Amino acid sequence: MGSLLSQFGLECGEKEVKEEERHLRANDRELNLSYKYADNAIKTSKYNIFTFLPLNLFEQFQRLANAYFLFLLCLQLIPEVSSLSWYTTVVPLVLVLSMTMAKDGSDDMNRHICDKQVNNRKVEVLIDGELKRERWMDVQVGDIIKLENNQFVTADLLLLSSSEPLNLVYIETAELDGETNLKVKQALTVTGKLEDSEEKLASFNGEVRCEPPNNRLDKFTGTLTLKGETYSLDNERILLRGCTLRNTQWCFGLVVFGGPDTKLMQNCGRTTFKRTSIDRLMNVLVLNIFGFLAIMCLILAIGNGIWEYQDGSKFAAFLPKGVNAPFSAFLTFWSYIIILNTVVPISLYVSVEIIRLGNSFYIDWDRKMYYPKSDTPAEARTTTLNEELGQIKYIFSDKTGTLTQNIMTFNKCSINGKSYGELLDFSGQRVEINEKTEKVDFSWNNLADPKFCFHDHSLVEVVREGNPEVQAFFRLLALCHTVMPEEKKEGELYYQAQSPDEGALVTAARNFGFVFRSRTPESITVMEMEELVTYELLAVLDFNNVRKRMSVIVRSPEGKITLYCKGADTIIFERLNPSCSNLMEVTTEHLNEYAGEGLRTLALAYKDIDPEYMADWKLRHHEANTAMDEREEKLDALYEEIEKGLLLLGSTAVEDKLQDGVPQTIEQLSKADIKIWVLTGDKQETAENIGYSCNMLREEMNEVFIVSANTAEEVRKELQTARRKMTPDGTEEPTVKKSRSGLFCLIKMETVVDEPVNGEYAMVINGHSLAFALEKDMEMELLRTACMCQTVICCRVTPLQKAQVVELVKKYKQAVTLAIGDGANDVSMIKAAHIGVGISGQEGMQAVLSSDYSFAQFRYLQRLLLVHGRWSYLRMCKFLRYFFYKNFTFTFVHFWYGFFCGFSAQTVYDEWFITLYNLVYTALPVLSLSLFDQDVNDRWSFQYPQLYAPGQLNQFFSKRAFVYTVLHSGYSSLVLFFIPWAAMHDTVRDDGKDIVDYQSFALLAQTCLLIAVNIQLGLDTHYWTAMNQFFLWGSLSVYFAVIFTMYSNGMFLIFTSSFPFIGTARNSLNQPNVWLTMLLTSILCVLPVVAYRFLRILLWPTINDKVRYKERQNKVLPPAPRRVQARRTSTRRSGYAFSHAQGYGDLVTSGKFLRRTPKSRTSLFSQTDSPLVQTQPQYYNTISEQEEPPLSP
Amino acid sequence: MMKEELETANRPDNTAFTQQRLPAWQPMLSAGIVIPGFVLIGLAFIGIGVALFIASQNITVLERDYTGVETVSDCYKCSNPSVKNCTCKLDFSLSNLFEGPVFFYYGLSNYFQSQRAYGASKDEYQLSGDLDYFKTPNSACSPYQYDANNNPIVPCGSLANSMFNDTFKLYQMVNGTKKLVPFDGKGIAWWTDYNIKYRNPSVTPLKNAFNGTVKPPFWSKPAYELDTSDPSNNGFVNQDFLVWMRRAALPDFRKLYRRITEGDYASGLPAGNYSLEIAYNYPVLSFGGRKKVVFSNVSWMGGKNQFLGIAYLVVGSLCVVMSMVMLIVYAKFKFPEDDK
């Protein structure tokens, strides 16, 4: 019915009829074309050659400032109103428009190129029974196309058949949803039979009816009708454009949606532009300025009315007027709107953009944020947020890959009561291990991983001597895991581990001579001290969160059955044979030591099993495994039964390597009064562990609250208890400051006031509790408690919760937030925060692609904020203050002159001066101020992170600062108008000619103004580079050069009416009293400011003043930031951590992934197009990075 | 080697500019600069102020209102606009020599030459002698663009039309007889106005250029008859016309009328009684304006202006006082050496 309707509609030529159902038949282009579905060409560009000019202009005039200027231009065309020549508005407007147009044009050009490239990609299409290579854009709905491994999916396809068993295909959806783990799609059995036979495929004539194009990525409904049978289709059968085919040799698909109809494209175009708080403030200010402008014009218009009534009408003998006083006042109002427009300068927006762009380039150029190891420079991907970097109050950080390198290294172990891995010198002192320390030579083992390093030689000696415990220890590590091996060439082993911890342990065993080589569902082959041994795998007792351990039961070639178990020490110790108690004590000591160093520990144990018991157990295991109900419980009980009476082997200590300089960075940032919250998908133990090792959680903290309740009420209780502990005498209700902001004050804001806390507290909250705490009725409680803590760690949170937490703080704290992360699961929070930072240079570019800034190492964050951010903020504020100052001063002089020209909207300056003032005379000096200025250099910025505080408090540019600027301008304009007036009104030149003619006075007023604002700029400049000097003096010289040129005889003779000021410069700049007046106005404008600033520095010095003073006092640079390796002696006792939640033992034993011989497989779960896997064998490609708990309701 | 190069391909350039390490001068408002600076500026200003003040004090100015508002004034009889061709007299006496060169100005008050519409009401092209604009004056000149018969007005516009047309003759009373003080009307306008900005059309006789045009309604004679005795002072380059056309910025202004530089008066006006004969034509009372005449001499800093000298003295003294205050504050509150 639907298709009929749409068919009908289309036949009538009504393209507007909404598609209600899609209908198509495979291999039937004629029918499919008749529906006029979009083909597979995409178009993201906005313009073409013809539409560019009109469309772009239309868009630009939608901006307030541009529209305002257009309005002014229209006003100027009315002769009665026009108080300024047309060029005063046209020149700046054209300049601004053409600059923006050039930028938009080049952007669109890039999109054109990009579109073209995508549209011209080739894919094999089945046409007339033959596979032909076609361009993507020529693919039509209903075509059958063939995809090969690692190819991008061309359009939204219905999967027909694939090379893999069961018609499975593996796809990576990173471009769509950011998840890097592979997903499985399966074709219908009926279509799977088509396989790769071209004849069968060509004769396939299935009809598909499905939903119209939409943007739901996770849903698809439709039916396939084939030979009279109807099969239902769901999302499982659909390959979406934007995905990549992985680990599948080929597959065939039927195009269902093409080009703009694909779900990928339907999801595009919703990028929200981030605006900085300064932007918003500026908009509010501009609106207020409009009001202010209207008031000024109104006053002047009323003045004009009165003047017309009292004087003008009587003056009619000399100046006849055809209009009455009220109408004249009305016209004057508009005339003054034109003249005083400089209070809303169009060049402001352009300058702001230029400054931000410049400051973004500094970030790109910074060598101190360049990471040589991966050759990644920092990148400012958004160029409009710079000053916000100087105002960050909250940082939300991911853990894995951001704070840590996501590299686990096997650092230490304790075997049979002896600890290995420490280096001691002769006196028994610990030796600091650094890059120069001699590494253990593993060359005797030709299967060793060359990247593995270990420093304690004794362990190798022991293992080579054949110490049975040590050998058992490594045998356990080589057997008890769920790692997948991959041997591309003989002896070149790659491990695919589910968690990096596991990979590190197996690699350690490999290097110490117990090389895990291959596995089948029933066996594990290990090279034990260069001897190939195959163990029969009897059972895998998988890891999970409750068990906190995993075991394998294997039968050795000799027939001995052994259970190997590794897990959390507390869990293992409960299950040990009592005979191990002595060893347990020693091992516990070692574990404490490891935990104190922030290492992640596991205890290892084994147990020999009686074959008869095993046979019985195996039988019961099988029963339980096939049980219909309570399967989990039954299995757990069985596991519990066999994992008893274990014999302790020892323990391992794996270091979750922090990135370089993380603790120092965090310390610096917290000194700058930035609060850091860690939001991680990891487990609580892991997160806490990292919290301690990067100094966010400290022993000396008063208390670390742990919120991990299971019901809403309990969570509320825990939060309240924590809060009451922190502020025993605090109020129950949060102090909320209500205010309004935004344009017309329409946005209601509620700000929760920070509450004072004695002592240092921290909070760890898990995802489950967070789900309750983020509910509407409890979010305030969460926010209050969390904000009182120095450190907040949220673990096991979903990407959505990450974003919710960020939104919560944004909403109630009105503070600037920054989110930093590296993975796809951080994308949501990166987008939610004011500023998103992505860690680049690793696999998975999702975070980077959606971020505003990216760099390779977490530690660069301090440079980004404390140096670049602070400077950008400082520069932007200085710029805005100065810019408003110079324009207001400029404009107010006109206002005062109104009282002396009969409120007739006579400009006080030459019209050319008005045109060029913002564009030429003052543009470059203020730009150089806002591109080069620094109060103190970067070293001092690091030395005193407190310098960051003014930005957080919005101290440098706020409404208050703006009002001061306006008052300052008012004073300056009074000086700049009335001093020349008083000095000139009753005097004459030194040759007796009159001096107060309009043109001379205009020249005097404008020169005074220009000198005064330039000196003011000089006062504001703290950092005088050659450029600043050049631009400042250059601008003044240009001014004098320009006036002498424009007031020259030649210019007048050529453009008589445009340059009526002929001779003015020559005739008045030779007068001593003119120069004396300029000197007096400049001094009067500047000296009060100097005196005020001098006294302020003495009486109420800010932190900036103090540091500047200090810098001046000792010219030497501050000491380079020290890098102390924190070695904590801790009494904390929980080193256990494991980064994955649920093993995939099932998969290992089911053999689902091992059906095909490894040789024909290109790579298991690895992206072959990424060289990183090859070069970093220690970097484990995790199959699912962290299993996220289910989304919160 | 190749590999190394490849690996650092993205390394940013190490220049002072990109790394924001440009050498720079970083001045600070320290006591060592600010306090002596204030003292120096203060002293310099006091010096300049004294010089200006003395210079201003030495200038003599004689100002007389002749609007004729008061009935005792001789010009009262002329203040009625219906009286035509009225001449009145303004007597004054000098007890000392009025040092020369003496400049003679007329002044107008409450007269808005600074009005935008007034100032714009002229035609630059016409005034630079472009004959095309004689026929079609700029529309800005309206309502003095065409007369009632649609003849173009030359020079057009309110500014030209309202040209000041009182004339003055100064007599010194020597033993009861009137001795004419010679006025010098040459070179009272700017050189650029006279030579570049305003030019007569190159038609001789000048009168022919004005064929088909009419004089501004307020004028008693056309432009080409402004000074029939001297062609270089006639038409648009008439000095009085040029002075008038250089419009004043403020509503109270004075304009140079003549210089007294010749004959017995080259060194100034000797003490004695003088009589100024005024041909009273220009109506100002209707809009509450005032007319005055000013005799003044000048110094290096121009005409008499007390303000500048006093302002310099005041600012200079304030600077010195401020420096004292700052010194005291500095002594009390300066940063302790080891403050953080």
pLDDT digits over A350-400, tens only? Answer: 888 889 989 999 999 999 999 888 888 898 888 888 889 999 999 999 887
Collapse the DSSP code of A909 into the 3-class scheme (helix H, G, I; strand E, B; otherwise coil) and give the result.
coil
Sequence-distant (6+) residues with CB within 8 A of A1096 are none
Task: Check CB contact under 8 Å for B196 and A376.
Answer: no
- The yes-or-no verdict on residue A320 having pLDDT over 80 is no
The Cα angle at residue A852 between residues A848 and A857, in degrees rounded to 5: 55
Nearest-CA neighbor of B197 among A908, A1048, A85? A1048
A566 labelled as ligand-binding?
yes
The Cα angle at residue A861 between residues A858 and A865, in degrees rounded to 5: 170
At residue A1160, the pLDDT reads 35
At residue B317, the pLDDT reads 96
Nearest to A365 among B13, B110, B286 (CB): B13
Sequence-distant (6+) residues with CB within 8 A of A1176 are A451
Nearest to A1080 among B115, B311, B330 (CB): B311
Which of B21, B192, B198, B299 best probes binding to A when mutated, by most A CB atoms within 10 angstroms? B192
Q: Which of A253-262, A291-300, A445-454 has the lowest mean pLDDT?
A: A445-454
Residue position matching structure tokens 């590999």: B3
pLDDT digits over A400-442, tens only? Answer: 778 888 778 888 889 988 888 887 767 667 776 666 777 788 8
Q: Report which residue type is found at B194.
A: Y
At residue A175, the pLDDT reads 64
At residue A11, the pLDDT reads 36
* Cis peptide bond upstream of B143, omega within 30: yes
Task: Check CB contact under 8 Å for A377 and B298.
Answer: no
The full 3-state SS of B55-97, as one line of letters, equals HHHCCCEEEEECCCCCCCCHHHHHCCCCCCCEEEEEEEEECCC
At residue A826, the pLDDT reads 80
At residue A182, the pLDDT reads 66
At residue A1167, the pLDDT reads 34
The Cα angle at residue A953 between residues A952 and A956, in degrees rounded to 5: 100
Instruction: In whole angstroms, give the CA distance from residue A414 to residue B178.
Output: 130
Mean residue pLDDT of chain A comes to: 82
Nearest to B250 among A79, A996, A1106 (CB): A996
Residue position matching structure tokens 């060509």: A202
Residue of chain B with shortest Cα separation from A336: B116
pLDDT digits over B46-74, tens only? Answer: 999 999 999 999 999 999 999 888 888 88
Give the predicted TM-score (pTM) of the model.
Answer: 0.83
- DSSP label of B151: P
Query: Is residue A1052 a contact partner of residue A1069, using CB atoms and an 8 Å limit?
Result: no
pLDDT range class, residue A1192, cuts 50, 70, 90: very low
pLDDT range class, residue A1136, cuts 50, 70, 90: low
Q: Give chain B positions within 8 Å (CB) of A928.
A: none
Percent composition of chain B: helix, strand, coil (DSSP 3-state, to 5): 35, 20, 45
Q: CB burial class (10 A; 0-12, 13-18, 19+) of residue B317?
A: middle
The Cα angle at residue A836 between residues A834 and A838, in degrees rounded to 5: 175
Sequence-distant (6+) residues with CB within 8 A of A1046 are A910, A912, A1059, A1061
pLDDT range class, residue A1004, cuts 50, 70, 90: very high
pLDDT (mean) for A920-925:
90
For residue A872, the distance in angstroms to the closest alpha carbon of chain B comes to 12
At residue A326, the pLDDT reads 87
Task: Check CB contact under 8 Å for B249 and A1001.
Answer: yes
- The yes-or-no verdict on residue A6 having pLDDT over 50 is no
At residue B237, the pLDDT reads 92
Q: Which residue has the higher pLDDT, A556 or A628?
A: A556
pLDDT (mean) for A456-464:
86
- Give counts: helices (H), strands (E), chain B: 10, 11
Give the containing element (helix H, strand E) for A819: strand A816-821
Instruction: In whole angstroms, give the CA distance from residue A211 to residue A222.
Output: 6
Q: Which of A234-248, A939-953, B114-128 has the lowest mean pLDDT?
A: A234-248
Q: Give chain A positions within 8 Å (CB) of B119.
A: 906, 998
pLDDT digits over B100-116, tens only? Answer: 789 999 999 988 888 88
pLDDT (mean) for A1-16:
38
Q: Report which residue type is found at A902.
A: G
Q: Which residue has the higher pLDDT, A782 or A630?
A: A782
Q: Report which residue type is found at A1024.
A: W
Instruction: In whole angstroms, give the CA distance from residue B207 to residue B225.
Output: 8
pLDDT range class, residue A1177, cuts 50, 70, 90: very low
At residue A1147, the pLDDT reads 55
pLDDT digits over A649-671, tens only? Answer: 899 988 888 888 888 999 899 88
User: Tokens in use for A958?
Assistant: 């706020």
Percent composition of chain A: helix, strand, coil (DSSP 3-state, to 5): 50, 20, 35
Could you say which of A108, A177, A398, A449 is catalytic? A398
- The yes-or-no verdict on residue A117 having pLDDT over 80 is yes
At residue A1150, the pLDDT reads 55
At residue A176, the pLDDT reads 64
User: Tokens in use for B92?
Assistant: 């004054």
Percent of chain B with pLDDT over 70: 96
- The yes-or-no verdict on residue A1143 having pLDDT over 70 is no
- The yes-or-no verdict on residue A843 having pLDDT over 60 is no
Query: Is residue A780 a contact partner of residue A734, using CB atoms and an 8 Å limit?
Result: yes
Instruction: In whole angstroms, give the CA distance from residue A1055 to residue A1074.
Output: 28
For residue B176, the distance in angstroms to the closest alpha carbon of chain A comes to 31
pLDDT range class, residue B318, cuts 50, 70, 90: very high
Active-site residue A852, yes or no? Answer: no
Query: Is residue A314 a contact partner of residue A912, using CB atoms and an 8 Å limit?
Result: no
- The yes-or-no verdict on residue B239 having pLDDT over 90 is yes
List all residues of chain A from 303 to 332 with a beta carbon under 8 Å from chain B.
311-312, 314-315, 317-322
Collapse the DSSP code of A1154 into the 3-class scheme (helix H, G, I; strand E, B; otherwise coil) and give the result.
helix
Nearest-CA neighbor of B159 among B66, B230, B236, B82? B236
Collapse the DSSP code of B124 into the 3-class scheme (helix H, G, I; strand E, B; otherwise coil) and give the result.
helix
Task: Check CB contact under 8 Å for A319 and B29.
Answer: no
Residue B161, chain A, CB below 8 Å: the answer is yes
Instruction: In whole angstroms, give the CA distance from residue A678 to residue A794.
Output: 6
At residue A393, the pLDDT reads 92
User: Tokens in use for B334?
Assistant: 């300066």
A907 labelled as ligand-binding?
no
- The yes-or-no verdict on residue A894 having pLDDT over 90 is yes
pLDDT range class, residue A1120, cuts 50, 70, 90: low
Task: Check CB contact under 8 Å for A998 and B248.
Answer: yes
Sequence-distant (6+) residues with CB within 8 A of A1152 are none
* Cis peptide bond upstream of A728, omega within 30: no
- The yes-or-no verdict on residue A1155 having pLDDT over 50 is no
Nearest to A998 among B23, B114, B329 (CB): B114
pLDDT range class, residue A597, cuts 50, 70, 90: confident
Q: CB burial class (10 A; 0-12, 13-18, 19+) of residue A306?
A: middle
Residue B125, chain A, CB below 8 Å: the answer is yes
A209 labelled as ligand-binding?
no
A600 labelled as ligand-binding?
yes
Q: Where are the beta strands (DSSP E) in A823-872?
A: 835-839, 853-855
Q: Give chain B positions within 8 Å (CB) of A906.
A: 114-116, 119
At residue A1146, the pLDDT reads 59
pLDDT digits over A600-645, tens only? Answer: 888 999 999 998 998 899 888 888 877 777 778 888 888 888 888 8
Residue B82, chain A, CB below 8 Å: the answer is no
- The yes-or-no verdict on residue A73 having pLDDT over 90 is no
pLDDT digits over A851-878, tens only? Answer: 889 998 899 999 999 999 999 999 999 9
pLDDT digits over A696-755, tens only? Answer: 888 788 888 888 888 888 888 888 888 888 887 777 777 777 776 655 556 666 777 777
List all residues of chain A from 331 to 390 with a beta carbon under 8 Å from chain B.
335, 362, 364-368, 370, 372, 375-377
pLDDT range class, residue A1184, cuts 50, 70, 90: very low
pLDDT (mean) for A66-83:
84
- Interface contacts A/B by beta carbons within 8 Å: 285
Give the containing element (helix H, strand E) for A654: strand A647-658
- The yes-or-no verdict on residue A281 having pLDDT over 70 is yes
Q: Report which residue type is found at A610.
A: D
Q: Report which residue type is found at B257.
A: Y
A1151 labelled as ligand-binding?
no
Q: Report which residue type is found at A18.
A: K
At residue A118, the pLDDT reads 84
Query: Is residue A1126 a contact partner of residue A663, using CB atoms and an 8 Å limit?
Result: yes
- The yes-or-no verdict on residue B2 having pLDDT over 60 is no
- The yes-or-no verdict on residue A1164 having pLDDT over 50 is no
